Structure 1
């Protein structure tokens, strides 16, 4: 379903990587299957596992690699490819493969997510974003029409978000209690960015903070109506401060807790993880190694990566 994935592109990427690596290929059929294949590669002492796909594939490979010495390689062929853009990896698959063979495996920040969900214990990492509440509900709604997501990308997510706002979120009361450093805030949604920016709307970066923080940053919102939603989006596009009445922003925290009553949907890297009851989010600087440039470009420089 990835937008750039064709048989010809796959063969070109395999040929490019095969000139530098003793390469095996695998075709997982699901996220959990991707993680099983990845963990098997780790057990075999493989140097790197390349995720050829979108952010969902990268998320599952990263979770299979977490805590190991095996590096993550990124070959972006998805709809938005947020992680590879953030890290400065070329957006054309063959160019990404050519560049990757020259990259070092560098420790790269992730968010560690632990706690309990309705389905059971949670122990995941997120490579670029964690959301509880509204944005996870948008992901949940968007996943009901996966082909529309591939075809229309950010436009489809935007229309889905507007639909959720007008349908049942504009009058919703806070059901999340967010805690950081002894302070609490009651919210209907939290958005946590692992890097800067949080994500992309098409080719436009969306930022939760004015400047790149030294660690994680989280935006919590007490209510969500059309006016509030429009204001948040406008400020995210412009890179302006989101810390206003009815919102709260934390930067560079060591630990954040989110308690949900009733349980709330949550997502990591655009992958729906279920309904959270209580989770803890922490930064981890050394849980994942990624084949990437040592210096990352500023968000506005990431649009034209080829």
Structure 2
């Protein structure tokens, strides 16, 4: 953030089970020690937080720093994409995939603020569908179905809710019929999931679109073709290392634009409910400036 003094700090205080507020306080202390007094913002809900972010950008703030997880990054991206306002991050979420992309300290907000202060602007790509953007991965298959079930559950809390949702869906899951349009080339197939990556990972380090780059002007589309439920369970741990790419059910395409269609699937992007299929997603090169 060399030379920048005009910043706004937007916080999700409930991120990471309450770590957001503590991370904000640590970041504020370090920024003030550096002679920076940022605008501090906190929405009562995501809609208000997004309104505040848009207002900051409209006011011409140089850098919008979000404190939270990938959901807060997603919100910040909607306000800063295609503008002169840069986006910074103090990680305080559960998954923190964007923090992984830029090798930011994920458990030490003061150290993350140091990195912010020493950072330089970098232009990266975004993925866009309609007027909405995402930075990480769009999930449009088994993983999205699990998210839908987990969001309907009220118990238990945390990661265990997703584990239970995964087991429940796995019992009844069948391959999904997809139609994909990859840069104008149509494909009809059955698959366990289709993922569209601007970056390489989602869900707390699951490297589903291994090899995706943030500045190559391309989207990485990964198809996991039909496999047994036992095979799916055995392959899952490989996603954390990206070694699933050697599995015969794995298929990888690099494209500028993709349309994904499948019946009854609601997609998730940056961990947020994104929209029902079909969706067309395009890469927007250099759409975002980040401080990293």
Which TM class, normalised by the smaller chain length? Answer: 0.7 to 0.9
Match of 2:256 in 1: 254
Equivalences for residues 61-140 of structure 1 within 5 A: 61-91=76-106, 92-114=108-130, 123-140=131-148
Match of 1:267 in 2: 268
Quote how far apart the aligned CAs of 1:265 are: 0.5
1:161 corresponds, among 146, 149, 166, to 166
Partners in 2 of 1:187 and 1:35 — Cα distance? 37
Count the aligned residue pairs: 271
1:141 aligns with 2:142: no
Encode CA deviations 1:126-153: one digit per residue, 9 max, x unaligned: 111111132222222223357855x4x3
Partners in 1 of 2:176 and 2:23 — Cα distance? 48
Match of 1:40 in 2: 55
2:182 corresponds, among 180, 183, 192, to 180
Specify whether residues 179 and 88 from structure 1 end up closer, same or farther in structure 2 by C-alpha distance, changes over 3 A only. Answer: same
Q: Secondary structure at the match of 1:286?
A: strand
Encode CA deviations 1:167-209: one digit per residue, 9 max, x unaligned: x31x3541x211214141424531122223x2355xxx43335
1:30 corresponds, among 38, 45, 54, to 45
Specify whether residues 43 and 147 from structure 1 end up closer, same or farther in structure 2 by C-alpha distance, changes over 3 A only. Answer: farther
Measured on the aligned residues, the alpha-carbon RMSD in Å equals: 2.6
Do the aligned partners of 2:196 and 2:209 also contact (CA within 8 Å) in 1?
A: no
Quote how far apart the aligned CAs of 1:280 are: 1.4
Q: Secondary structure at the match of 2:276?
A: strand
Do the aligned partners of 1:32 and 1:60 also contact (CA within 8 Å) in 2?
A: no
TM-score calculated relative to the size of structure 2: 0.82
Q: Which runs of no fewer than 5 residues in structure 1 stay unpaired? A: 115-122, 293-306
Specify whether residues 156 and 20 from structure 1 end up closer, same or farther in structure 2 by C-alpha distance, changes over 3 A only. Answer: farther
Q: Secondary structure at the match of 1:143?
A: helix
Quote how far apart the aligned CAs of 1:156 are: 4.2
Do the aligned partners of 1:266 and 1:274 also contact (CA within 8 Å) in 2?
A: yes
Partners in 1 of 2:202 and 2:55 — Cα distance? 30
Quote how far apart the aligned CAs of 1:230 are: 2.3
Do the aligned partners of 1:243 and 1:249 also contact (CA within 8 Å) in 2?
A: no
Do the aligned partners of 1:232 and 1:242 also contact (CA within 8 Å) in 2?
A: no
Partners in 2 of 1:79 and 1:259 — Cα distance? 30
Partners in 2 of 1:244 and 1:8 — Cα distance? 42
Higher RCO structure (Cα 8 Å, ≥6 apart): 1
Q: Secondary structure at the match of 1:25?
A: strand
Quote how far apart the aligned CAs of 1:225 are: 4.5
